[in-house]
Structure 1
Amino acid sequence: MRRQLAVSGPVPPGEAWDRYARPARWPEWSPQIRAVDYAGTLLTPGARGVVHGPLGLRVRFHIDDVTPARGWAWTVSVLGVTMHLHHTVAPAGPGSRTGLTIEGPAPVVLGYLPLARWALRRLVHLPPVAPGAGRTRHGVTAPDTPG
């Protein structure tokens, strides 16, 4: 099954893209993501990692494609189920619009859509983290890292 959704909000496209492009930032806006194991700093085609979700759920992923500042695609696998997701970012008035296309088994896609919509709303609505304020990871405030 294939489903699409889009959400617009006041966050500028550059900030929305940065929230996508740096996997360490995913827990800031995606409430179902507790942590991310990823060797790099930025999304890179061919890279692999693991998203840690609630109840110890581990979701393996592979970055399929990246078009800087515009979109990226990845394949995720969990409990024998594989899904393909394609994310986009575009300017929308004073803010941005993010789109998502999900492909996978119907029950999983339909079950994931509400979580995805919630996360994407946060992506384009949460104010940026103030410089020097740190980012929250695992419930602990960590100092900002350069870059």
Structure 2
Amino acid sequence: MTRMTLSAKGTASPDTVWQGYAGVDQWPSWSPQIKAVHSAGHRLSPGLSGTVESVAGSRAAFVVEAVDHDRRTWTWRVRLGRIQIRLHHEVRPQGRGSATSLTMHGPRLVLLAYAPPARLALHRLVQP
């Protein structure tokens, strides 16, 4: 297993960035690799589960493990077939805007393949 951290800084406020994460229906608006999110709930909460549909048509199952709305952090596990990755997200104030980071744990080749679209998504998330 490999660990990789990505980050982005932008002018969107920390609250705006957090709302982009917290409203799972909003994920496709800033994450170009996500076509749709299918889940019973619409807000991040521990135990929330569902599937993320990619623009390529694959569906990955997910379970949210932890959410701290006050600290603007959350962790989830995503599984596509036999491949599983764990992702931890954080949002922090940064100057007049915000910074977000994503720490991923999983198979090295999977993380290397996922890093470019994830990096693009993070940059889109922190822009107003």
| The two structures share one fold, judged by TM-score above 0.5 | yes
TM superposition score category, shorter chain reference: over 0.9
Q: Which residue is equivalent to 2:11?
A: 10
Name stretches of at least 5 consecutive residues in structure 2 with no aligned partner.
Answer: none
Counterpart-to-counterpart distance in 1, 2:34 and 2:16: 19
Q: Which runs of 5+ in 1 are unaligned?
A: 128-147
Deviation readout 1:19-71 (Å, 9 max, x if unpaired): 00010000000000000001112101011010000221101100000010411
1:105 alignment partner in structure 2? 107
Written as runs of structure 1 = structure 2, the 5 A alignment for 1:25-44 is: 25-44=26-45
Q: What TM-score comes out, normalization by structure 1 length?
A: 0.83
Q: Aligned-pair distance for 1:83?
A: 0.1
Query: In the TM superposition, what whole-angstrom CA distance separates every residue of 1:81-127 from its partner, at most 9, and x where no partner exists?
Result: 000000000000111000010000000011111111000000001x3
Q: Residues of 2 paired with 1:55 and 1:31: CA distance?
A: 11
| % identical equivalent positions | 44
Q: Which has the higher contact order (CA 8 A, sep 6+)?
A: 2
Structure 1 runs (4+) greater than 4 angstroms displaced: none
Larger strand share, 1 or 2: 2
Deviation of 1:79 (Å): 2.5
The alignment's C-alpha RMSD in Å is: 0.8
Q: How does 1:3-82 map to 2 (within 5 A)?
A: 3-69=4-70, 70-82=72-84
Q: Distance in 2 between matches of 1:47 and 1:37?
A: 11
1:60-139 equivalences in 2 (<5 Å): 60-69=61-70, 70-125=72-127, 127=128
